Amino acid sequence: MNSLDKAILDFINKASKRIKANFLINLSIVALKMLLCLIFSLLLISLFITIPYVEEISLGILVVGLIIALIYGVIKAPNKEKVSLIVDSKGLNERLITSLELINCEDNIAIAQKKDTVDKIKNFNIKKNLRISIDKKQVLLSLGLILMCILVMFVPTASRKNAKNIREFNKMQNAIIEKVEKEKNEIEKSEDLSDIEKEEIKKILEEAEKELKESEKQSEINKTLERLEKKLEDKKEKLSSDKAKETLEKTKKDLLDDFNKEKETNAKKDVNKLVNELMKKEESKDLGEAILKGDEEAVNKELKELENKLSTMSSSELSALSEALKNAALDISDEDLQEALKNASSAVLDKNIDAESLSQAITNSVNNSNGTSNNSSNQQSNNNQSQGNNQGSGSGQGQGSGSGQGSGAGQGQGSGSGSGSGGGQGGAGWNTGSTTGHENDLENNPGEQIYIPGRNEGSDNNLTGNKNEDGNSQQIETENGLNISGEKVDYDKVIGDYSNSALEGANNSNLPQSLKDLIKNYFEGLN
């Protein structure tokens, strides 16, 4: 190879580097745009479908995609012939491609051609004529996609929240399993334990490790660690030497101290969140105050009273209570408490609530926040019953009217015949009696009564309860009693039943929020 050939090849190599660099840069920009479109689509899907590691997957797609694009670019980059043609198009008029074909040719024509080419390339400015040009449109599209991906990543949705919880759960689960593995190795190295004791302790740790790996929820991990703590404590009591007990105590502390502290911290946050939400609504304020005091009996009492009040609450009050429980369930780390609150939120719309399970979940969370164990029991409050002292029966929830000669028509709310004490709510009915009671000052009096026809005839025998000592009775004596079939029902109760049914149906539907609010406002206006 003579000097002419070498000069031509050196020039082609220099030009080739610049042309290939320009090719790879533009190819990478196009590949980046396509990859960002794919990532953006994935991020949009993650807003509605739980994808736990969507950020890591997106980054992996980007890195792998760019590597593949670069490898493809190297393979498909222009060769010497294409480079020569590109350079010739910049003013060399096919001199370079012709000289490239004449490499190693020594005839006079070839030498003359190559000399002419060398003279031309000496004055050829590679940087000026072979500039690295970038497609600005592709760059702007890529930047726009990057910005859109970043914005989508910060859009809060239920699926995104679930994905975050799964990532945190897996991270914590792996950390605990690593701790168990580490403590198993420490037990194996310990000189304070006998071989039999080592095997027994390792067996306990291995069982816990297996349960931890199979756990799918935070509550399952918590229960596994609580069982592990109990087993290690029981095993420590059976050890003979003090050094062995100290070793096992250290193992238990290393394994569970962080867990217990984190559990206590999370429980405090949960209790504070629950109390704050309950205190916002008048219907649940008393319950929030009881939880704040940490009094288990008070919590049970308030829940029982709340359960009893549900039947007399209006639709707006039920809706407010349901909303308070629903909001309290948000961002609660205790899965049992969160589930109990969600169930209670749905149940109150049906004027029903599982006070026992909710009380248990609340008590456990309060105990955890205080650093105590989850041993609590639900207590049921006694129903107070008033007793009458004189003759006469009070009016319970009477239906229809009976007939008879010489009977009086007693009407009233909580009214009854005769003297005595006792509580009852009743509609109109036929009664006998001659004693006038006193003014009824009960707080929760039924509202307007409406008449529903088509009921069977009633009689005195179906009236139960005793007259409230502050109640009153009315007596009208007639020669012949009047008998009209029918039933008087509280107007608020009828409206409340319809309102609850409508609100529950709206909440469980896919209606827009504005329409749900319209339905809610309509039924609230009827009360």
- Mean pLDDT along residues 515-527: 72
Domain end marker among 95, 119, 154: 154
Does the pLDDT of residue 420 top 70, yes or no? no
The angle, 0 to 180 degrees and rounded to 10, between the axes of the packed helices 158-189 and 242-279 is: 170
SS3 of residue 299 by DSSP: helix
Tens digit of each residue's pLDDT (9 = 90 or more) over 178-205: 999 999 998 988 888 888 988 999 999 9
Tens digit of each residue's pLDDT (9 = 90 or more) over 124-178: 888 888 888 888 999 999 999 999 999 999 998 989 988 988 998 899 899 999 9
Q: Are residues 141 and 269 in the same domain?
A: no
Does the pLDDT of residue 410 top 70, yes or no? no
Q: Are residues 9 and 148 in the same domain?
A: yes
- pLDDT at res. 176: 92
Q: Are 442 and 468 in contact (CB under 8 A)?
A: yes
Question: Closest by alpha carbon to 328, among 312, 344, 341?
Answer: 341
- Mean pLDDT along residues 284-301: 82
pTM (predicted TM-score):
0.54
Q: Are residues 188 and 306 in the same domain?
A: no
Give the residue with greater pLDDT, 28 vs 92. Answer: 28
% pLDDT > 90, the chain: 24
Asked if residue 522 belongs to a domain, the reply is yes
Residue 428 banded pLDDT, cuts 50, 70, 90: very low
- pLDDT at res. 492: 66
Tens digit of each residue's pLDDT (9 = 90 or more) over 305-349: 888 888 788 888 888 888 888 888 887 878 888 888 888 888 888
Domain end marker among 154, 186, 214: 154
Alpha-carbon Rg of the chain, whole angstroms?
42
Q: Are residues 270 and 366 in the same domain?
A: yes
Does the pLDDT of residue 111 top 50, yes or no? yes
Taking the C-alpha atoms of residue 207 and residue 224, their distance in angstroms, rounded to an integer, is: 10
Domain end marker among 344, 370, 396: 370
Termini Cα distance of the chain: 104
Question: Closest by alpha carbon to 5, among 80, 90, 92, 86?
Answer: 80
Asked if residue 258 belongs to a domain, the reply is no
Asked if residue 118 belongs to a domain, the reply is yes
- pLDDT at res. 85: 92
Asked if residue 476 belongs to a domain, the reply is no
- Mean pLDDT along residues 80-106: 88
- pLDDT at res. 378: 36
- Name the least confident of 21-25, 157-161, 182-186, 470-474: 470-474
Which parts of 294-373 fold into alpha helices (H)?
Answer: 296-309, 315-329, 335-347, 355-369
Q: Are residues 150 and 59 in the same domain?
A: yes
Mean pLDDT of the chain: 76
Q: What are phi and psi of 412, to 5 degrees?
A: 155, 175
For tokens 């949960």, the residue is: 270
Does the pLDDT of residue 465 top 80, yes or no? no
- pLDDT at res. 452: 53
Residue 449 banded pLDDT, cuts 50, 70, 90: low
Taking the C-alpha atoms of residue 478 and residue 481, their distance in angstroms, rounded to an integer, is: 6
Range of 271's domain?
Answer: 265-370
Tens digit of each residue's pLDDT (9 = 90 or more) over 346-379: 888 888 888 788 888 888 888 887 766 543 333 3
Asked if residue 172 belongs to a domain, the reply is yes
Q: Are residues 74 and 101 in the same domain?
A: yes
Q: Are 40 and 152 in contact (CB under 8 A)?
A: yes
Q: Are residues 64 and 146 in the same domain?
A: yes
Q: Are residues 236 and 272 in the same domain?
A: no
- pLDDT at res. 493: 66
- pLDDT at res. 1: 62
- Name the least confident of 73-77, 440-444, 471-475, 486-490: 440-444
Asked if residue 324 belongs to a domain, the reply is yes
Q: Are residues 150 and 11 in the same domain?
A: yes
Partner residues linked to 254 by β-bridges: none
- pLDDT at res. 502: 74
And the tokens for 259? 């867990």
Q: Are residues 34 and 121 in the same domain?
A: yes
Asked if residue 141 belongs to a domain, the reply is yes
Does the pLDDT of residue 480 top 70, yes or no? no
- pLDDT at res. 409: 37
Asked if residue 388 belongs to a domain, the reply is no
Q: Are residues 212 and 117 in the same domain?
A: no
Tens digit of each residue's pLDDT (9 = 90 or more) over 228-285: 999 999 988 888 888 888 888 888 888 888 888 888 888 888 888 888 888 887 777 8
Q: What are phi and psi of 138, to 5 degrees?
A: -65, -35
Does the pLDDT of residue 23 top 50, yes or no? yes
Q: Are residues 97 and 235 in the same domain?
A: no
Per the structure, the count of domains in the chain is: 4
- pLDDT at res. 174: 93
